[in-house]
């Protein structure tokens, strides 16, 4: 089934990611800051796609990704909570690295619900969109046992730093938010029971 925009129902094909840019890694590292105030301009679908690719994009025919993962088990799941993104209706979307797609999870602007879950931190509603990471811990602990819990959090650190650096390269800002009510985040994003939310990263123009 197709929508009026020619997209398969519930599936958004993201623009191809760019593999080079004007900002060096060194410059991005120097300019990286946590940004909680954003301009009023919307984000573009290309910008959202580029940030998602930086976070968990596939970079190898073997399925390897931009961020390392213990045992290449990839326990992280990545969501976009979109409110003001050109070419993307407001809603909650799950990123599918294989194919560089967004799968719609819920329709409507959920930034308010996510903000409430995040102890009313205003950056969540001020940003045009937020990236939310969750994890299926069993993907890693099935191989590594309890120590796998540490590895999942290491995976998160790799992915979120990629988001920070890509945001700098795109002249955008973001911040890592770890203070929230887990159950409320899961409800706002319609997460399945096996997933646990790990962080929220609002994204907007500096």
CATH number at residue 124: 3.40.109.10
| Separation CA 195–CA 134 (nearest Å) | 6
For the chain, how many structural domains are there in total?
1
Residue 10 lies inside a defined structural domain of this protein = no
- Which alpha helices (DSSP H) does the chain contain, by range? 25-31, 45-56, 111-117, 123-126, 138-144, 147-169, 182-189
Residue 138 lies inside a defined structural domain of this protein = yes
* Cα→Cα distances 39→34, 35, 67, 204, Å: 15, 11, 29, 7
* pLDDT value at residue 100: 98
Give tens-digit pLDDT for 12-57.
999 999 999 999 999 999 999 999 999 999 999 999 999 999 999 9
Phi, psi at 91, each rounded to 5°? 165, -175
Residue 3 has pLDDT above 90, yes or no: no
DSSP helix/strand/coil, 62: coil
Residue 3 lies inside a defined structural domain of this protein = no
Span 194-200, average pLDDT? 98
Domain carrying residue 174 = 22-205
Phi, psi at 197, each rounded to 5°? -70, 140
Residue 2 lies inside a defined structural domain of this protein = no
Residue 16 lies inside a defined structural domain of this protein = no
**pTM, entire model:** 0.94
Residue 134 lies inside a defined structural domain of this protein = yes
Residue 175 has pLDDT above 80, yes or no: yes
Residue 14 lies inside a defined structural domain of this protein = no
| Separation CA 23–CA 3 (nearest Å) | 37
Residue 130 lies inside a defined structural domain of this protein = yes
């Amino acid at each position: 089934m197709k929508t009026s925009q020619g997209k398969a129902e519930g599936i958004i094909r993201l623009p191809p990611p760019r593999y080079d840019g004007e900002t060096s890694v060194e410059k991005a590292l120097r300019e990286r800051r946590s940004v909680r105030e954003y301009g009023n301009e919307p984000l573009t679908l290309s910008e959202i796609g580029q940030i998602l690719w930086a976070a968990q994009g596939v970079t190898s025919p073997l399925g390897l990704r931009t961020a390392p993962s213990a045992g290449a088990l990839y326990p992280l799941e990545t969501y976009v909570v979109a409110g003001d993104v050109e070419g993307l209706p407001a809603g909650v979307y799950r990123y599918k690295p294989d194919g560089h797609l967004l799968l719609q999870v819920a329709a409507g602007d959920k930034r308010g619900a996510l903000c409430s879950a995040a102890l009313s931190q205003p950056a969540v509603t001020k940003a045009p969109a937020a990236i939310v990471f969750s994890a299926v811990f069993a993907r890693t602990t099935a191989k590594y046992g309890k120590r796998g819990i540490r590895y999942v959090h290491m995976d998160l650190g790799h992915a979120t730093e990629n988001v920070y650096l890509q945001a700098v390269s795109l002249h955008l800002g973001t911040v890592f938010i770890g203070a929230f009510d887990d159950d409320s985040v899961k409800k706002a994003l319609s997460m399945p029971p096996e997933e646990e939310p790990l962080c929220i990263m609002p994204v907007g123009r500096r």
